[in-house]
Amino acid sequence: MAELAERLGVSGPQVIKYLMTNGVAAALNQAVDFETAALAADHFGFEAESEDAAVEAAVEATGVAGQPGRARHPLLDLSGEDPATLVPRPPVAAVLGHVDHGKTSLLDVIRKTRVAAGEAGGITQSIGAYQVMHKGRPITFIDTPGHEAFTAMRARGADVTDIAILVVAADDGVMPQTEEAIQHARGAGVPIVVAVNKIDKDGANPDRVLQQLADRGLVSEQYGGDTQVVRTSAKSGDGLDDLLENILVTADILVQPKANPKRAAVGTVIDSHLERGRGPIATVLVQNGTLKVGDNIVAGAVFGKVRALLDDSGRKVQGAGPSTPVVVTGLSDVVVAGEVLHVTDTERAARTLAEQRALAQKQRQVQPVRHISLASLEAHAAEGETKTLNLVLKAEANGSLEALRGQIAKLGDDPAVKIKVVGEGVGAVSESDVNLAKVSDAIVIGFNVRPDDRARAAADDLGVDVRYYDVVYHVTEDIEKAVKGMYEPRMVEVFQGRAEVRRVFTVDGKNAIAGSHVLDGKITRNAVCKVLRDGAEVAHSRIEALKRFKDDVREVVKDYDCGITLADFNEFQEGDVIEAYVVEQQNL
């Protein structure tokens, strides 16, 4: 009763008196049913809505099970908004690039010299996102750890970025992480503005950088292309005004970001952690609507009520509109970065939605979602679901990568399926490659390379099809068969375990024994093994003997030592990694 009176904006005795005139005797601390509350609400000029209905509405609005990994989260899709309600919002930019190319330094200079209007000093705290002003217009920067985090957010359907700022050092040029950043930005479908940084450093050669970028499809306007390139120096501050101006121009021409500030808020969690005295807090970028103190919120499997909002300078605010980053307190738990946060009508609706999502997450862990694979390609194409086969290519050397790319290009375009390389690189298949394949709905092709531990785990968790080959024509043959619907299951090697060689023992007349420590999974007596050295395969053989001390054993599990002898390999070195596989038929 007391809560009902508070929500109706009247005193408790007034509600009690009205109910008594209708034959309902209730004390101020007594609970009443929905029909009684609705009767009182109607009398005092309000319309009551059942929380069950509110929950159902929230569930329907989000598609509920909260499935991550869609191309775009339904709550962030503006196609259902009335165009008349949409107004321009500040552009959001993420800074990507190779390590040590000056991303952090550039952001620090921008932040210190272009802080938002009204801020007298520097930024008082780091919240992972902030706004700066240029010619009276705000720009929001997302300070992410790198393109992996950028793509991990997209994997949950959270497209937080309008523009990618690619930072390339003028003295260093395009590096591996630069190429990865380009691929991830293209995968996100966002325009790229290039900042050629460190132009005042000894050995700087901006023209060489422009040529390297042109070779990768980013042709600057200086060379007759359409890529905005700005020469900058974090040390002297040169080019900062030009960079900010180019961000605004790119936003106005190519992005035209808009939002409806008058609706309930929807945003993305940039960062979240547990803080002493305040409990779980999250940095949220509001993308549509306005987030207010007191709103009931849900993000993934976490719910709560907004107790306080802090802007990027640490000041308390009552509300945050589109493209505004704020720190939110009042959550029930720490939120996974990249989750979409939105407002619900009631606390019960938020709690129920969070519980349903937690249950859905457990179910997905038991039965992971499978994405496109070569075996399912023909069926997807027949149903009109797949118009493009996206590939991420990894090889042990540039020459192999070029040969693989060339052979795939010769396949041509099928009427039903077109082949597109969305990412490529040299070296082992990494977690970044798997994340890129996840958000691009691509298949990863590894040529003479293996995955690292995190990549293998990510592929299993995300349901990404990762395939490994050592003969080029096997790659093109499988793709051709898949496109034409003739793909047949093949015998494949399924990862079983991994051990590190700690010491090598040799006995005259016998094969070398690799004294090894099992790092992951298990090593079994009937396994086929690959010996990896610096990520490259140096041997492929079956196990001839597996021992624990002097005893022959069938298997050795994680965290135990063993002696491994291979049938056709004796050149072990300390630090080699032995990966064990069993051969199974692949039916995916």
Q: Do 185 and 171 reside in the same domain of the chain? A: yes
* pLDDT of 450 above 90: no
- Residue 104 annotated among the catalytic residues of the structure: yes
How far apart CA 199 and CA 202 sit, in angstroms, is 8
- Residue at 56 is within a domain: no
Q: Do 469 and 483 reside in the same domain of the chain? A: yes
Q: Please state the rounded mean pLDDT for residues 8-27.
A: 69
How far apart CA 407 and CA 447 sit, in angstroms, is 13
* pLDDT of 276 above 90: no
Q: Do 442 and 526 reside in the same domain of the chain? A: no
Q: What is the CATH number of the domain that holds 358?
A: 2.40.30.10
- Residue at 67 is within a domain: no
Residue 175 burial (CB count, 10 A):
17
Q: Which of 73, 98, 103, 394 is catalytic?
A: 103
Q: Please state the rounded mean pLDDT for residues 264-290.
A: 88
* pLDDT of 157 above 70: no
Structural domain harbouring 459: 374-488
In the numeric block, the tokens 């990694």 are attached to 577
Beta bridge partners of 286: 267, 324
* pLDDT of 174 above 70: yes
Q: Please state the rounded mean pLDDT for residues 149-171.
A: 74
How far apart CA 489 and CA 587 sit, in angstroms, is 5
- Among 472, 488, 504, the domain-final residue is 488
Q: Which of 42, 52, 100, 215 is catalytic?
A: 100
- Residue 100 annotated among the catalytic residues of the structure: yes
Q: Please state the rounded mean pLDDT for residues 166-184.
A: 87
Tokens of 548: 């624990």
pLDDT of residue 123: 34
- Among 456, 488, 520, the domain-final residue is 488
Q: Do 253 and 163 reside in the same domain of the chain? A: yes
Least confident piece of the model among 169-183, 228-242, 564-578:
169-183
Tokens of 519: 């790092």
Q: Do 422 and 567 reside in the same domain of the chain? A: no
- Residue at 281 is within a domain: yes
Q: Do 111 and 252 reside in the same domain of the chain? A: yes
Per residue, what are the HEC states of 331-349?
Answer: ECCCCCCCCEEEEECCHHH
How far apart CA 330 and CA 23 sit, in angstroms, is 40
Number of domains in the chain: 5
Q: Do 335 and 428 reside in the same domain of the chain? A: no
Quickly state the pLDDT bin for 149 (edges 50, 70, 90).
Answer: low
- Residue 103 annotated among the catalytic residues of the structure: yes
CA 154 to centroid of chain Cα atoms:
4
pLDDT digits (tens, 9 = 90+) for 187-207: 778 899 999 999 988 888 999
Q: Are strands 490-505 and 513-524 parallel, antiparallel or unpaired?
A: antiparallel
Most confident range, picked from 408-422, 471-485, 547-561 = 547-561
How far apart CA 94 and CA 89 sit, in angstroms, is 16
Q: Do 237 and 272 reside in the same domain of the chain? A: no
Q: What is the CATH number of the domain that holds 440?
A: 3.40.50.10050
- Let me know the angle formed at the C-alpha of 124 by 119 and 125, rounded to the nearest 5 degrees: 130
Beta bridge partners of 524: 555
pLDDT of residue 94: 87
* pLDDT of 121 above 60: no
pLDDT of residue 413: 56
Q: Do 504 and 545 reside in the same domain of the chain? A: yes
* pLDDT of 404 above 80: yes
- Residue 184 annotated among the catalytic residues of the structure: no
- Residue at 550 is within a domain: yes
pLDDT of residue 140: 92
**Contact present, 113 and 130 (Cβ < 8 Å):** no
- Among 430, 458, 488, the domain-final residue is 488
Q: What is the CATH number of the domain that holds 182?
A: 3.40.50.300
- Residue at 324 is within a domain: yes
Q: Which of 104, 346, 388, 476 is catalytic?
A: 104
Beta bridge partners of 13: none
* pLDDT of 163 above 50: yes
Mean pLDDT, the chain, rounded, equals 79
- Residue at 514 is within a domain: yes
Q: Do 240 and 355 reside in the same domain of the chain? A: no
Least confident piece of the model among 21-30, 231-240, 440-449:
21-30
* pLDDT of 396 above 90: no
Residue 156 burial (CB count, 10 A):
23
Quickly state the pLDDT bin for 338 (edges 50, 70, 90).
Answer: confident
**Contact present, 164 and 188 (Cβ < 8 Å):** yes
How far apart CA 209 and CA 335 sit, in angstroms, is 39
Q: Please state the rounded mean pLDDT for residues 473-485.
A: 73
Q: Which of 73, 98, 101, 147 is catalytic?
A: 147
- Residue at 418 is within a domain: yes
Spell out a b/e string for 255-290, using b for 16 or more CB atoms within 10 Å of the CB, else e: bebebbbeebbbbbbbbbeeeeeeebbbbbbbbbbb
User: What is Dmax (Cα atoms) for the chain?
Assistant: 104
Least confident piece of the model among 59-63, 194-198, 441-445, 535-539:
59-63
Tell me the whole-structure pTM to 2 decimals: 0.60
* pLDDT of 168 above 80: yes
pLDDT digits (tens, 9 = 90+) for 208-234: 999 999 988 899 888 888 899 999 998
* pLDDT of 31 above 70: no
- Residue at 176 is within a domain: yes
Q: Do 209 and 156 reside in the same domain of the chain? A: yes
Q: Do 127 and 201 reside in the same domain of the chain? A: yes
Sheet holding 192-197, edge to edge: 129-134, 137-142, 92-97, 163-169, 192-197, 228-231
**Contact present, 405 and 393 (Cβ < 8 Å):** yes
Tokens of 312: 């990027």
**Contact present, 444 and 392 (Cβ < 8 Å):** yes
Beta bridge partners of 404: none
pLDDT of residue 518: 94
Per residue, what are the HEC states of 78-145?
Answer: HHHCCHHHCEECCCEEEEEECCCCCHHHHHHHHHHHCECCCCCCCCCCCCCEEEEEECCEEEEEECCC
